């Protein structure tokens, strides 16, 4: 029996290592692609933006509708609307839709803000529905045909767009008529709030500075990140694209891939940044990661067959497959932690697999270095030198600690259709000022699994030390600390917070006034595939 367990563990160990290494090599390839194109592309985009702003021909600027999907966000919605109204774009050409699905006193707060700005001459209105069918995707699908803008800017509630965001993005969109979307980079309002936010910020910088640039500037499929971007309305309503859909939890990833499969492309500019608030506690961070992990796998299930039947090149198909399934790395990391102890028995009790053991662990070592190198270079590319190096230990612990949460989410994505869109609560924290918000994520019991795996990994770490396998034990120490850290941070605790916002009765959908200059035969809302919750 022990032989069967040990041999099976070796097969799992080999499979998980090779799979994880594949994603590590993929990240290294993206780093090379970004490094070879970034100077030329950034200079080209800067030239387009500078020429557009220098000309300043506002009479020819297109109408833009800014859409703000909101659900119970009383801690941050005021900041969001203030920033959107302050953007430097002609009043008569900037419509603002607050897509409010709130069920608490955030509704009355939004009404007051909107009424004030409408009284000052801004084209701003609240768009409400009778229910939350389709969640964020449903709200966007409902509002898009009613928007009078040729372009649709989207900002989540925790973002604070800078004044020049709209006109810089419009400059790049008008320069590329085939661009369905223009994605900006996420910056951070509260990066230095804690070790957790610093680690998250480094990971996000790696994604936006390296991965998105590498994809967009080398003919690979990239994704709209759900916020801090502008869509061409014609692309969303294109019959070949199919509009917003709620049959996955990452409607942004789904729509952007469908648009590119329909022949559109997506622009990205690393130098147009939009600050946002990072989740300030472990439960909020885990909630966000669960949604992203589950949704990514759902999109992979939905679109990978179509991708592999498409006109794309082999390179584009392979990269798209790795992109859509990259959260599966969490599963492979978890496998490596669990089978480490049986692998030690295999090492000690026989020589048959020992050469393989060395080879596999060498692969683990090499691929473990790649993410650290990529994220450090991301900060360098953003003009911050090698400041990311000091955050690497925290980021590694966070990356290991979150893999239990994400592994369960990946498995969920393999069978779940749609699902509840659980928004990540934000408190309104900014640089130098930490805030305690109204909202909290419902706590589960996964923290107990994390604590158990943390203790198990540290016990295995001791077994490796006792067997003089010092080098290999380093990874088990990282696993143990990461699991324990995440479990402790996620444990239930009584927090001293402000009283929760009062729920209010949701009235039937508020009629939305369509501007008189909108076409009377505006397209119908695209088909929305939503699950019933």
- Express each pLDDT in 124-153 by its tens digit: 999 999 899 999 999 999 999 999 999 999
- pLDDT of 1: 61
- pLDDT of 510: 37
**Domains of the chain (ranges, CATH numbers):** 1-442 (3.90.550.10)
- Listed in sequence order, the residues at least 6 apart from 236 whose beta carbon sits closer than 8 Å to its beta carbon are 144, 152, 180, 243, 244, 255, 259, 526
- pLDDT of 314: 97
Q: Name the token pair of 459.
A: 């016990």
Cβ–Cβ < 8 Å for 392, 376:
yes
- pLDDT of 500: 44
Q: Which residues are marked as active site?
A: 101, 252
DSSP designation for 491: S
For the segment 395-409, the average pLDDT, to the nearest whole number, is 95
What are the pLDDT digits (tens) for 245-280? 999 999 999 999 999 999 999 999 999 999 999 998
Q: Which of 29-38, 100-109, 335-344, 505-514 has the lowest mean pLDDT?
A: 505-514
The dihedral through the CA atoms of 303, 304, 308, 314 has a sign that is positive
Beta-bridged to residue 95, according to DSSP, are: 65, 123
- Between CA 235 and CA 177 the distance in angstroms is 11
Residue 430 has pLDDT above 60, yes or no: no
Q: How many CB atoms lie within 10 A of CB 200?
A: 26
| Closest of 377, 158, 375, 185 to residue 267, by C-alpha | 185
DSSP designation for 278: P
């Amino acid at each position: 029996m022990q032989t069967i367990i040990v041999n099976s563990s070796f097969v799992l160990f080999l499979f998980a290592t090779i799979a994880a290494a594949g994603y590590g090599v993929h990240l290294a390839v993206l780093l090379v692609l970004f490094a070879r194109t970034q100077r030329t592309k950034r200079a080209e985009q800067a030239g387009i933006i500078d020429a557009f702003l220098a000309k300043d021909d506002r009479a020819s600027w297109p109408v833009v509708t800014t859409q703000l999907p909101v659900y119970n966000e009383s801690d941050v919605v005021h900041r969001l609307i203030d920033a959107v109204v302050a953007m430097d774009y002609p009043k008569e050409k900037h419509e603002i839709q607050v897509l409010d699905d709130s069920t608490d006193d955030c509704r009355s707060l939004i009404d007051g803000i909107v009424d004030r700005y409408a009284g000052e001459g801004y084209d701003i209105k609240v768009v409400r529905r009778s229910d939350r069918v389709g969640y964020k995707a449903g709200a966007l699908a409902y509002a898009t045909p009613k928007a009078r803008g040729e372009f649709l800017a989207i900002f989540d509630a925790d973002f604070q767009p800078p004044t020049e965001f709209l006109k810089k993005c419009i400059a790049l969109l008008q320069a590329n008529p085939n661009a369905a979307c223009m994605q900006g980079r996420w910056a951070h309002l509260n990066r230095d709030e804690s070790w957790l936010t610093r680690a998250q910020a480094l990971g996000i910088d790696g994604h936006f500075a390296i991965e998105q640039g590498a994809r967009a500037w080398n003919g690979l499929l990239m994704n709209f990140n759900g916020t801090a971007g502008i869509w061409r309305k014609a692309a969303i309503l294109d019959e070949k694209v199919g509009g917003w859909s709620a049959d996955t939890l990452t409607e942004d990833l789904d729509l952007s891939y469908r648009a590119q499969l329909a022949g559109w492309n997506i622009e990205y500019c690393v130098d147009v940044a939009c600050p946002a608030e990072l989740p300030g506690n472990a439960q909020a961070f885990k909630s966000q990661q669960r949604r992203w992990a589950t949704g990514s796998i759902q999109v992979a299930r939905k679109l990978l067959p179509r991708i592999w039947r498409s006109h794309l090149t082999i390179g584009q198909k392979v990269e798209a497959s790795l992109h859509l399934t990259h959260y599966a790395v969490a599963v492979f990391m978890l496998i490596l932690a669990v089978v480490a102890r049986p692998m030690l028995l295999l090492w000690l009790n026989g020589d048959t697999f020992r050469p393989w053991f060395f080879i596999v662990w060498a692969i683990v070592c090499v691929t473990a270095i790649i993410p650290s190198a990529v994220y450090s270079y991301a900060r360098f590319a953003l003009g911050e030198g090698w400041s990311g190096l000091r955050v690497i230990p925290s980021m590694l612990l966070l990356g290991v600690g979150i893999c239990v949460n994400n592994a369960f989410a990946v498995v969920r994505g393999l069978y779940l259709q749609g699902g509840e869109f659980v928004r990540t609560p934000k408190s309104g924290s900014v640089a130098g000022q930490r805030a305690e918000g109204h909202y909290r994520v419902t706590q589960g019991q996964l923290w107990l699994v994390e604590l158990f795996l943390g203790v198990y990994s540290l016990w295995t770490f001791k077994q490796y030390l006792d067997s003089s396998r010092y080098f290999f034990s380093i990874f088990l120490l990282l696993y143990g600390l990461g699991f324990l850290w995440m479990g402790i941070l996620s444990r239930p605790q009584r927090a001293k917070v402000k009283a929760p916002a009062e729920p209010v009765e949701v009235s039937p959908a508020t009629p939305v006034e369509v501007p008189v200059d909108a076409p009377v035969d505006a397209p119908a809302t695209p088909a929305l595939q939503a699950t019933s919750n």
